[in-house]
Chains A and B, each alone.
Chain A
């Protein structure tokens, strides 16, 4: 069964085409690392999957249901949550309020195809258990947190919607190495919990250690799509920087 299927996706920023005819499939529980140089189109691809950037061409299917034209806030209910690059917390809300905003009100509005998707069973209490730092800082305004604390809040805010697919965009960006280790340590609980994850990570070593599959993006196109056991660090690096011979997968 395929959880997410992206078909021939083209995404533009005005005249600039940032994602070119991308095909991508993610199975439930899979952890896919999306790697590529700056400007390769990784964030753009994630935003198009999450619904905050429109598709110029192609389709996005979640659990077989076409969600290409579904607005972002409905895709959250359907099962897609994005942790955006740079965290983007609500600075005037407390940590707990940031989490609570992510809790879907009412019932799941999406069609029957997405309501039965496998999820991790996340809610606010489980997030506070998995990220003890958040329990401690629950009443602090998000604008006053350190980078690592902000990242934990951003991940928690996405998790409380109990997604079937979690998109993580550069969770290590701007964090100290120690803080990155803490964030990845708490992500273990998420990765083990059955949620499918697509993560953008600049650090190829870490991507190879965390993911079950590696997808390389170069100038908006997928240039490699390999399972981790078949992944060769040197080859990934070449695909990353666009040197050497690319065989489109």
Chain B
């Protein structure tokens, strides 16, 4: 029973990770663009929502809506202002650039909001839960999991079934040739980055609603998201969902065994997958021409 409970709570935790990982899976897994500020952008959105709702007194839904639209814009600006200048250069360049951005966001947030942990108050919904056969399931974590599944399903369908998705995958394979068959590769990168950062914002808001956040929480969110993407396999959105579940369950079951080592068990499972299936659990067979 305790184990079953741990698995259920692990899946709910996995929902959190999956949401953070969704944008990363699209950017890094599919398009091969490294954005080390992904987690910090989520935390930025979390604090922006807290600031607007608790600070400026905006209704919660409005605050979140404003933040998410803003994050789409920040994503577009991130591509136009930073990542577009590093395409064609070594991938290390965009890594360094976005690492710098990560540090700047974290420290700026600390400057404005202080280092105190904060949370986004959702009222009764934030703490409500139901008991299913003796296992308590929080409504909020369940909702986050549902949103994550929807987001990843939507992305999967968009990538595999739509003209936009074909353009994204073609651009990921070969941006120069994509342009030669009529694809505006720059715009493709821009739209994907905007979407990914928008999803990071959504994940950050969900995170702040579920637990206390500090301005420097970004990098740990990035690591969990990165692990989920890699466990699942680069380029597979379903894989990312599975990877997030594996990570969440590993952490949750690990803490049942030893309360202080849940996160460590998660990392160990990540390393085990990397050692035994380096391409990830659901790696798409990628064949080079």
Contacts and interface: CB of A to CB of B under 8 A. Distances in A.
A102 B174 contact: no
Interface residues of A, number: 35
Interface residues of B, number: 25
Contacts of A104: 182
B87 to A, nearest CB: 14
A77 interface: yes
Interface stretch (A56-64, A137-145, A181-189): A137-145
Interface stretch (B34-42, B161-169, B238-246): B161-169
Interface stretch (A35-43, A85-93, A126-134, A214-222): A85-93
Interface in B159-199: 163, 166-167, 169-170, 172-174, 176-185
Contact of B174 (A50, A90, A103, A145): A90
A73 B183 contact: yes
Interface in A128-176: 141-145, 150, 157-158, 161
Contacts of A72: 179-180
A143 B287 contact: yes
Contact of A90 (B163, B173, B184, B235): B173
Contact of B173 (A87, A92, A157): A92
A52 B180 CA distance: 7
Given A88-B177, A92-B284, A161 B182 contact: yes
Contacts of A84: 177, 180
A27 to B, nearest CB: 24
A100 B169 CA distance: 12
A90 B169 contact: yes
Given A100-B163, A143-B289, A91 B180 contact: no
Interface in A54-112: 71-73, 76-77, 81-82, 84, 87-93, 97-98, 100-105
